[in-house]
Structure 1
Amino acid sequence: MMDFKKGLNGALLFAVLFTLLFHNQYLGLNILIIETAALLWLAFTKQIDFRNRNHLIFGSGFFITALAVVFVFSDYAVVMNFLALFVFVGILIYPQARSLVSSAKLSFFNIFYAQIRFMDAFFTGKLGSGKIARALWKFRIFSVPVIIISVFVMFYRISNPVFNRLVIKIFDSIEKFFDMMSFTLDFTLIFTFFFGLILCNYFFIRNTNEQTIKDDANASDEIVRIKRKRYWRGLTTGLKGELRAGVFLLIGLNAILLVVNSIDVYWVWFNFRWNGDFLKQFVHEGTYLLLLSIVCSILVVLYFFRGNLNFYSANKFIKGLCILWIVQNAVLTVSVGVRNFHYIRYFALAYKRIALIIFLVFVICWLYTVALKVLQKKSSFYLIRTNAFVLYILFISASVFNWDQFIVSYNFRNYKESFVDLDYNSDFSDKVLPELDKSQNELSEIDQMQQTKFHFDTELMPVAIFHNKIQRRKKEFIHKWESKSILSWNYPESQAYESLKRSESKP
């Protein structure tokens, strides 16, 4: 367990630093400053072991997402930074953790335990002199009488108009006092400090959960054979029946999926023809089928290969059927990817289409680990541990890309081939305003090409409204950026600002 006093000092110090960096500021350079300082503090106080692989991997993930907030500046990067923080706290609590699920549990419990331990230190006088804290703690005995007195005051006000006017005068005097105090007290500063204190308590005051650590340490990647006494010769009837049921089920599932995959390979892969309709349902149908098939594959493998069937000498046929089922799921995954490719080809890029690509990569990784479970007698713990790490890597890796710029640039560059939804593209973040800042001639050319190629019944955003919206957003962004301090600086918006200012200065 970590040194509590060291954690308490770190929490207080960084709560003050948090307040200085984030009070009346936007997210930006300040988040990189405080998280870099936190990592240096952990290294200086020897709370990071550079020989520990988990410390290096997840500490790096935490730092990478902080860089992404500043140099990519997306909502997704901010969310991933908090996710990386959440995981890293769990690793700091138990550096030998084998599964991210265990780290997540430890981190979640610490959200509450850290605040409780800080409050305990505050009220028991371990924090500074403790005189104010002890006085507040002793004052709790007066809370019930104060509530009762307040109730009676309310009753007397209703029944006695003179008394009511007197109470109103008292309340007016109190209100004036607080109005006067507002000139000297900045309540947003107080809120920022307490919010920062809660976060810093969570990060620096860490507590273990022995049961979670014990479960993680005792879990095995390999399935252990459970030997039972045999009361008659041969394989038990239950295991025989399970084997036959598994063979029957997998033959049926493989046959059905073979038909589905054959249709997809012929129609989707090699003979697809777009008839001018929206392809949203076309992609969704394949995705829903894939999800259903993946869930079935997980349940089938986890059930039939959960125990002694893994060690039965006559299990080669059912293993072969299971591997065939996994391979067919991989083919189905590729089919969904091809559907998504057609969707992008005719309807350009969007966040959900990119998210689907990342999901398909994860599915392929998941299927690979399921195959390893069957062939190498791996446990369910292995599946969860490995795929949680894969998911973490995919999430963190995705945070370093400027998807807004990639999507908008692709969509307007391919307007001759793909449908450009001006309404959708007009809502992208301020950092891509230079890419959205099209002249009326450019927009007219795009609209003319779109009218020629696409014919939809739905009402689309006119180019004039799009142009006016972007011009208004440009002015608002320039004003907002010029009012920001260096602590709120980020690279993409600084580049966008410089680009827009240059375009304004041109004749």
Structure 2
Amino acid sequence: MKKSIIIILGSITFATLFYNHSLGLNTALYALFLIIALAIMNTKSLLKPSIIASSMGMIASSIAIIMHGSGMAMLCYFLSVFLFIGMVASSQASIYVAWLNGLYNAFFGMFHNFIFNIKKIKEENEPKYAAAQIARITIIPILLISLFSYLYSLANPVFAEWLGFIDLSFIDGFWFFTAIIGGFIMANIADPQALTPLTDDDIQTDNILLPKAQNENQQLKTKNELQLGTFSIAALNVLLVIVLISEFMFITNIKDFAASELSSAVHSGVYASMVSIILAVVIIATFFRGSLNFIKENGTLKTLTFLWIGLNALLIASIFIKTSLYMDQYGLSMKRIGVVVYLALCMIGLVTTYFKVQHRLNFVYLWRRNLTISFVIVSLFSLFNWSAVVTEYNLKNDFVDNKQLERLLPQNALILKEYGYYDDAQELNNKLGYSSARYWEEHFIDRDWQDFNYIAYKIKEGNQKKDND
């Protein structure tokens, strides 16, 4: 009975919050409903750290949607929802397995026993009426009453006249369809189950490499691989030192380069570093994937590897300096902020690679740790209204680009208003050449309580004051 009530409440809540509404306050309310509902159904796992962390991430991203509603905040919200459901299914699973469990339960959760051919053992205290029975004793009588009322109205004009006084125009078929979808989702996730083979393998897989016994041929192969790795990493160190010298010369003489050369150097440097850092991690992980970690002669290779990691960190620092200088001269953009975030992720990737070599960890460790840290950083990044930050910085420093200001709408609307670029949709259209300004205003600003958004609220409040004046 408890599960049936939660499913019914889930369908009503989902339809009430999301039917014919944009994302806003409804995301936070639905997140709170999910936390309470799954806590009731899974009381034992309520206080587990991974579940608490994923629920906090879900609430945080929903607040970001309320405050500015960026696409990144919406993406992180959905990822956090799936992560939360997956963690309730198995709190010990890695983040990527938790996502898979969350997706699986959202679409196929109530078919879990059928898919895996699990025979459910009935408990002595199991309620007599399940959700299907409740649906039968409510929907079937309603259908029968509707059918016979129609037949009786054909046979009796007076009864037909009485029925005519009943106004059913308030009934919205699409609302009920949305409610059915919400009930289906709630039925799937009310008691989430893990994908047992995948989740069990993940939990049982440790991060630490273990030595394996080797015969003579295998030992010879490992020594040959050690020799190959030592010469390869040594050569790459020499090459990277030369590159860093050229980077230093470029940065110290950056004023001598034309704007096009600086732009090309920054963009090419970012893309090149993206490939080189990923390749560096892959190469190191490949050489230190197994027995090479445990032979006594690997000291030189490890030293060269640590040196290469350090040099790659210097390369990242040089790219960051060039990006900073570029932003000082040409202003901020979302892409340039993204570059800074990417460089931070690259630096973290190098740190985790260092720990992988130093502590004899496996590739699974790199995958788990880097994916978790990346998701946390991107989630924290999504909490801020970067469109507003970019707009304010550029307007304050006279880096005005109308097309960029247009692309950053509606998250930068309040900043545009502060700097006199936006008093109404027509003025926005005139200053930015934004041909769909009226469409944007009508579809973003006019909201109900379910899809409340702070920026839309402030813009609408300002418009109302202007009309009153």
TM-score, structure 1 as length reference: 0.75
- The alignment status of 1:427 with 2:407, answered yes or no, reads yes
- The alignment status of 1:13 with 2:9, answered yes or no, reads yes
* Superposed displacement of residue 104, structure 1: 2.1
Alignment of 1:13-412 (within 5 A): 13-47=9-43, 49-97=45-93, 99-114=94-109, 116=111, 127-128=132-133, 186-230=172-216, 236-268=219-251, 271-277=254-260, 279-412=262-395
Note the alpha carbon deviations across 1:393-443, whole angstroms, 9 max, x for none.
Answer: 11210121011211111110111xxx4221121232234324324558xxx
* Superposed displacement of residue 26, structure 1: 2.3
Note the alpha carbon deviations across 1:204-258, whole angstroms, 9 max, x for none.
Answer: 2412222122212221121100013458xxx922111111111111111111111
Given that 2:37 and 2:190 are in contact with CA atoms closer than 8 Å, whether structure 1 keeps it comes out as no
When residues 130 and 494 of structure 1 are mapped into structure 2, their CA distance, relative to the original with a 3 A threshold, is closer
When residues 274 and 9 of structure 1 are mapped into structure 2, their CA distance, relative to the original with a 3 A threshold, is farther
Given that 2:42 and 2:191 are in contact with CA atoms closer than 8 Å, whether structure 1 keeps it comes out as no
Given that 1:15 and 1:200 are in contact with CA atoms closer than 8 Å, whether structure 2 keeps it comes out as yes
Note the alpha carbon deviations across 1:330-356, whole angstroms, 9 max, x for none.
Answer: 111112212221332222211111111
Given that 1:11 and 1:205 are in contact with CA atoms closer than 8 Å, whether structure 2 keeps it comes out as no
- Name the aligned partner's letter for residue 233 of structure 2: L
Given that 1:72 and 1:492 are in contact with CA atoms closer than 8 Å, whether structure 2 keeps it comes out as yes
- Name the aligned partner's letter for residue 88 of structure 2: L
In structure 2, the residue corresponding to 1:486 is in which secondary structure? Answer: coil
When residues 66 and 134 of structure 1 are mapped into structure 2, their CA distance, relative to the original with a 3 A threshold, is closer
- Name the aligned partner's letter for residue 87 of structure 1: L
Distance in 2 separating the partners of 1:109 and 1:269: 54
Given that 1:481 and 1:497 are in contact with CA atoms closer than 8 Å, whether structure 2 keeps it comes out as no
Distance in 2 separating the partners of 1:493 and 1:130: 40
Note the alpha carbon deviations across 1:313-332, whole angstroms, 9 max, x for none.
Answer: 11110001111111111111
When residues 313 and 8 of structure 1 are mapped into structure 2, their CA distance, relative to the original with a 3 A threshold, is farther
When residues 48 and 505 of structure 1 are mapped into structure 2, their CA distance, relative to the original with a 3 A threshold, is farther
* Superposed displacement of residue 301, structure 1: 1.3
- Name the aligned partner's letter for residue 242 of structure 1: E
Unmatched runs of 5 consecutive residues or more in structure 2: 121-128, 141-166, 422-426
- 1:436 corresponds to: 416
Distance in 2 separating the partners of 1:52 and 1:482: 40
* Superposed displacement of residue 12, structure 1: 3.0
When residues 43 and 116 of structure 1 are mapped into structure 2, their CA distance, relative to the original with a 3 A threshold, is closer
- 1:174 corresponds to: none
When residues 7 and 79 of structure 1 are mapped into structure 2, their CA distance, relative to the original with a 3 A threshold, is farther
Distance in 1 separating the partners of 2:327 and 2:35: 41
- Name the aligned partner's letter for residue 331 of structure 2: A
Unmatched runs of 5 consecutive residues or more in structure 1: 136-180, 441-462
Distance in 1 separating the partners of 2:77 and 2:200: 28
Given that 2:414 and 2:455 are in contact with CA atoms closer than 8 Å, whether structure 1 keeps it comes out as no
When the two chains are superposed, the root-mean-square deviation of aligned CA atoms in Å is 3.3
When residues 319 and 184 of structure 1 are mapped into structure 2, their CA distance, relative to the original with a 3 A threshold, is same
Matched length: 425
- 1:488 corresponds to: 451
Given that 2:266 and 2:319 are in contact with CA atoms closer than 8 Å, whether structure 1 keeps it comes out as yes
- Name the aligned partner's letter for residue 77 of structure 1: A
- Name the aligned partner's letter for residue 62 of structure 1: M
- Name the aligned partner's letter for residue 22 of structure 1: F
Q: Percent identity?
A: 22
Distance in 2 separating the partners of 1:472 and 1:249: 57
Distance in 2 separating the partners of 1:435 and 1:503: 17
Distance in 2 separating the partners of 1:298 and 1:504: 60
Given that 1:404 and 1:432 are in contact with CA atoms closer than 8 Å, whether structure 2 keeps it comes out as yes
* Superposed displacement of residue 38, structure 1: 2.1
When residues 119 and 19 of structure 1 are mapped into structure 2, their CA distance, relative to the original with a 3 A threshold, is farther
* Superposed displacement of residue 16, structure 1: 1.2
When residues 113 and 350 of structure 1 are mapped into structure 2, their CA distance, relative to the original with a 3 A threshold, is same
Distance in 2 separating the partners of 1:413 and 1:192: 46
